[in-house]
Amino acid sequence: MPGHFEPTPGGGAAVALDEVEISIIRSLAVQLLELIGPGPAEDAPDDPLAEIFTDGPSEPPSDPVLFRLFPDAYGGPGTEDATGDEADELMAYSAEFRRFTENDLRARKREDALAVVHTLDALGAAGDGGAVLKLAPEQSRQWLGALNDLRLAIGARLDVSDEDDADLLYRLPDSDPRKPMVMAYLWLGGLQETLVSTLMS
């Protein structure tokens, strides 16, 4: 179990983490929460209809990490050469889609990151031997979402856009200042991969 998730009875997952690993994941999750931003104000009226009809932003984020977390819906491979009316149409579709979906997407990402923080806090002091984190099925799905978001955020900072870029990370010299971030990126990828395998077993 050290370093990778394993299935638990009832469809959950468990992983052994040492004190340093707990601290790193918690710190990254908190940074992700700060990046995503706060949720609705606590004193806001509890009106589900108001939440449904609250428009989100229509412009993409300027921060490359936020753009990786909240990409345009109508873009990507095959659309780079769009010009004139076609490009304007794609931009309009993306703006409309973002306006109606980004608030919900932000809320889900925020909930996933908060679930990571809360489950780690529930472990208490890990001590020298660390602790075994046991996740219920819903918590496992939230962790999977948060691990994916953390890797997207770190990948954006490292300017990783495809598999070839990721392969180059393995060959970075130890003297490269990006090395700690690369190690976190690769480690989180391993956790994510074993959690996916666990949930599919």
Length of the chain: 201
pLDDT value, residue 201:
80
pLDDT value, residue 77:
42
Measured distance between the N- and C-terminal CA atoms of the chain, rounded to whole angstroms = 15
| Proportion of the chain above pLDDT 90, given as a percent | 44
At 9, list the tokens: 């009875």
| Cα-based distances in Å from 86 to 75, 91, 105, 174, 190 | 11, 9, 27, 46, 40
pLDDT value, residue 194:
95
Does this model's pTM top 0.85?
no
Residue type (1 letter), 187? W
Q: State pLDDT tens for residues 39-55.
A: 654 445 565 555 555 66
pLDDT for 93 beyond 60? yes
Which pLDDT band holds residue 75 (cuts at 50, 70, 90)?
Answer: low
Task: Please state the rounded mean pLDDT for residues 95-100.
Answer: 79
pLDDT value, residue 43:
42
